[in-house]
Amino acid sequence: MERKLCPICEEGALTIREGCNETEYKGVKGSVRFFYEECDVCGSEQAGASLCLKNKRLMMAFRKQVDGLLSGEEVRALRERLKLKQSEAARVFGGGPTAFSKYESDDVAQSAAMDKLLRVADAVPEAFRYLCKLAGHELPTGAPKLSSLLGAEGIVWQTIDFPEVPDGANDEYHAPATHVISVEERYG
């Protein structure tokens, strides 16, 4: 490993150190790890851009946990279960072209609404299928499908389809379509 020279004294070598920061967010106290470099000659402590980014991500992960949001790892696992690339997830769920990269690396926290939308799409395959349809995205091969769940038969819900109108106005009434989960086709 190449020796990293201290920019302050220009003599010592920098060594990465780890610390623990006691912090509080929304009344919840916790310990968050942080990283810095220490010079073996002058003793100065510093954090370059890459360590600052790592420290920011660790703090964001703590905040997401306190807020009850999916962690970056959980968002990635959910997206992968749905067989979506990051750019496809952004198209299906919204949030912008680089949103999922940022959510998954804990650069930013997804909104509570986005978090709930992700959880619903993961738990209810038909909701995910509907979101794909709205986004004009073909359902990925291997995406979750309807499967068997004991006691789910007889569940009834209604949907209303509105035709797409170029100017965005949609004041036509359409009778709701009724759906029933039969014994043969149930959510899992």
Q: Which domain holds residue 172?
A: 146-188
Residue 86 maps to a domain: yes
Hey, which residues does 38 pair with through a beta bridge? 15, 45
Q: What is the pLDDT of residue 72?
A: 96
Residue 9 lies in a domain: no
On the 0-12 / 13-18 / 19+ scale of CB atoms within 10 A, 18 is: exposed
For residue 3, being part of any structural domain is answered with no
Beta-sheet strand order (sheet of 45-46): 14-25, 28-39, 45-46
Residue 23 lies in a domain: yes
Residue pair 71/106 in contact (Cβ under 8 Å)? The answer is yes
In this structure, are 73 and 141 located in the same domain?
Answer: yes
Q: How many CA atoms lie within 13 A of 120 on its CB side?
A: 13
Domains: count for the chain: 3
CATH number at residue 122: 1.10.260.40
This prediction has a pTM of 0.71
Q: How far apart are CA 124 and CA 100, in angstroms?
A: 20
Instruction: Note down pLDDT in tens along the chain; length 188 residues.
Output: 678 999 999 999 999 999 999 999 999 999 999 999 999 999 999 999 999 999 999 999 999 999 999 999 999 999 999 999 999 999 999 989 899 999 999 999 999 999 999 999 999 998 999 999 999 999 888 776 654 444 455 555 555 454 555 555 545 555 555 655 554 443 43
**Shared domain check, 159 and 115:** no
